[in-house]
């Protein structure tokens, strides 16, 4: 019998989606499942983008340029310039979501056996992208005790070997919601320049920052033009996850030329998604004002409610729409399955993402869950109550 590849066997399972069969069974039993497990916002896509899709009526939906439609790239460049990032359209490659942008970036700058340092917990699919690229993730653990701030540079230094090629950050972070400060980025700058590394920054949640805090892009940091690669997407910014349009942005000409060869190999990014993405760039400022106000309300309700529950610790995130909560339980995987298989409150239960899957270091995060606060406040309040009631009777609760 033919064998599956070693790479395929090593490909990690999604901690976000692996519990889907349990949720489906709960629904078949008539239990309402409140989904806290996946970052699919319930916020409406901008009407201007939906209108562009409805009005898109060509005779043929054709390939675009492998780097993306020029008009869209020019629109993206204008967007970046307005937020303090000085790039032009020739420094942008449009991709099939931010996921492909990361995959292309890794394959562009790294060879088999090269190492990439990533602060954990991190977006679980970084493990999958790295496996597919045949490279090794070297995790550096951040702590819930300080809200998942950037670990010290001395800790980064300990991980650097001759095989280290890059550092990857998500800012603001998924799954933590942590927003790196300009000082933290400048600290990374020192180590990047010292060891001649690439710094890849996943900035898909750039718009979602709270409490008066400002996002700083890696492309705003002086002296890093040849070292930085920005990853972006329309998925969360405009609540257009299904459009599957992202981009990678860099001022490094050699990186761009090499990445374009990978882009040519997959022909083109989605043409229809680019139509929606280009239109979304003209969304009124009021769209983001309303969206951010809504997320702040959701965050404050959720974090306050969780921290009132005996035994739970949940830092207040400054960005994105995720949080990590430490629970008084034996194992978050078991707890998440138990919630779907054996527990309900008023015929409702919740689906959470066990946080261990967002760590690369074994055995870390076993008592943590990630919550995406992408639901309305009524649903979030129900979810808080369900978690509180569940912990009262969960067999694996810790004293």
Question: What is the mean predicted confidence (pLDDT) over 307-325?
Answer: 97
User: Over the stretch 273-296, which tens digit does the pLDDT of each residue have?
Assistant: 999 999 999 999 999 999 999 999
According to the model, what pLDDT value does residue 310 have? Answer: 96
- What CATH number has the domain bearing residue 262? 3.40.640.10
According to the model, what pLDDT value does residue 227 have? Answer: 98
Domain boundary among 280, 298, 324: 280
The reply to whether 102 and 35 lie within a common domain is no
Domain boundary among 248, 280, 312: 280
According to the model, what pLDDT value does residue 391 have? Answer: 97
User: Over the stretch 15-53, which tens digit does the pLDDT of each residue have?
Assistant: 767 789 999 999 999 999 999 998 888 899 999 999 999
- Has residue 180 been placed in a domain? yes
The reply to whether 144 and 239 lie within a common domain is yes
pTM of the model: 0.95
According to the model, what pLDDT value does residue 10 have? Answer: 87
According to the model, what pLDDT value does residue 350 have? Answer: 97
- Has residue 88 been placed in a domain? yes
The reply to whether 296 and 371 lie within a common domain is yes
Domain that holds residue 377: 6-44+286-393
User: Over the stretch 202-248, which tens digit does the pLDDT of each residue have?
Assistant: 999 999 999 999 999 999 999 999 999 999 999 999 999 999 999 99
The reply to whether 259 and 273 lie within a common domain is yes
Question: What is the mean predicted confidence (pLDDT) over 364-383?
Answer: 96
Share of the chain above pLDDT 90, in %: 93
The reply to whether 171 and 299 lie within a common domain is no
The reply to whether 333 and 254 lie within a common domain is no
Convert the chain into a string of H (helix), E (strand) and C (coil).
CCCCCHHHHHCCCCCCCCCHHHHHHHHHCCCEEEECCCCCCCCCCCHHHHHHHHCCCCCCCCCCCCCCCHHHHHHHHHHHHHCCCCCCHHHEEEECHHHHHHHHHHHHHCCCCCEEEEEECCCCHHHHHHHHCCCEEEEEECCHHHCCCCCCHHHHHHHCCCCEEEEEEECCCCCCCCCCCHHHHHHHHHHHHHHCCEEEEECCCCCCECCCCCCCCHHHCCCCCCCEEEEEECCCCCCCHHHCCEEEECCCHHHHHHHHHHHHHCCCCCHHHHHHHHHHCCCCHHHHHHHHHHHHHHHHHHHHHHHCCCCCECCCCCECCEEEEECCECCHHHHHHHHHHCCCECCEEEECEEHHHHCCCCCCCCCEEEEECCCCHHHHHHHHHHHHHHHHHCCCECC
The reply to whether 11 and 64 lie within a common domain is no
According to the model, what pLDDT value does residue 97 have? Answer: 96
- Has residue 74 been placed in a domain? yes
Question: What is the mean predicted confidence (pLDDT) over 140-150?
Answer: 97
The reply to whether 306 and 169 lie within a common domain is no
According to the model, what pLDDT value does residue 13 have? Answer: 79
- Has residue 399 been placed in a domain? no
- What CATH number has the domain bearing residue 331? 3.90.1150.10
Mean pLDDT, the chain, integer: 96
According to the model, what pLDDT value does residue 18 have? Answer: 78
Domain count, the chain: 2
Say whether pLDDT at 364 is over 80.
Answer: yes
pLDDT classification of 7: cutoffs 50, 70, 90? confident
């Amino acid at each position: 019998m033919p064998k599956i590849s070693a790479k395929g066997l090593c490909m990690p399972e999604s901690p976000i989606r692996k519990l889907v069969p349990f949720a489906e069974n709960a629904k078949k039993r008539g239990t309402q499942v409140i989904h806290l497990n996946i970052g699919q916002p319930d916020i409406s896509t901008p009407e201007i983008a939906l209108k562009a899709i409805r009005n898109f009526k060509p005779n043929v939906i054709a390939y675009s340029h492998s780097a993306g439609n020029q008009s869209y790239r020019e629109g993206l460049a204008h967007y970046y310039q307005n937020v303090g990032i000085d790039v032009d359209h020739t420094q942008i490659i449009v991709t099939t979501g931010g996921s492909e942008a990361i995959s292309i970036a890794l394959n562009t700058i790294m060879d088999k056996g090269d190492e990439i340092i990533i602060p954990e917990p991190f977006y679980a699919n970084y493990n999958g992208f790295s496996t597919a690229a045949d490279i090794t993730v070297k995790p550096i653990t951040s702590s819930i005790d300080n809200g998942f701030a950037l670990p010290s540079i001395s800790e980064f230094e300990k991980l650097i070997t001759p095989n280290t090629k890059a550092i990857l950050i998500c800012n603001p972070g998924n799954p933590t919601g942590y927003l790196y400060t300009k000082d933290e980025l400048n600290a990374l700058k020192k180590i990047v320049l010292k060891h001649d590394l690439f710094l890849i920054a996943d900035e898909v949640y750039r718009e979602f920052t709270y409490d008066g805090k400002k996002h700083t892009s890696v492309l705003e940091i002086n002296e890093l033009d040849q070292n930085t690669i920005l990853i972006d997407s329309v998925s969360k910014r405009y609540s257009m996850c299904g459009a599957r349009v992202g981009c990678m942005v860099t001022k490094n000409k050699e990186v761009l030329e090499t990445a374009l060869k990978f882009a040519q190999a997959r022909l083109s990014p989605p043409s229809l998604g680019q139509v929606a993405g280009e239109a979304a760039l003209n969304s009124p400022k009021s769209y983001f004002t309303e969206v951010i106000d809504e997320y702040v309300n959701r965050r404050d309700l959720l974090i306050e409610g969780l921290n009132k529950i005996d035994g739970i610790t949940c830092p207040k995130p400054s960005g994105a729409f995720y949080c990590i909560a430490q629970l008084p339980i034996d194992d978050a995987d078991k707890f998440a399955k138990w919630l779907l298989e054996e527990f309900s409150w008023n015929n409702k239960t919740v689906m959470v993402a066990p946080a261990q899957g967002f760590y690369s270091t074994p055995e870390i995060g076993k008592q943590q869950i990630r919550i995406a606060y992408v639901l309305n406040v009524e649903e979030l309040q129900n979810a808080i109550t369900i978690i509180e009631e569940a912990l009262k009777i969960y067999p694996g609760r810790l004293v």
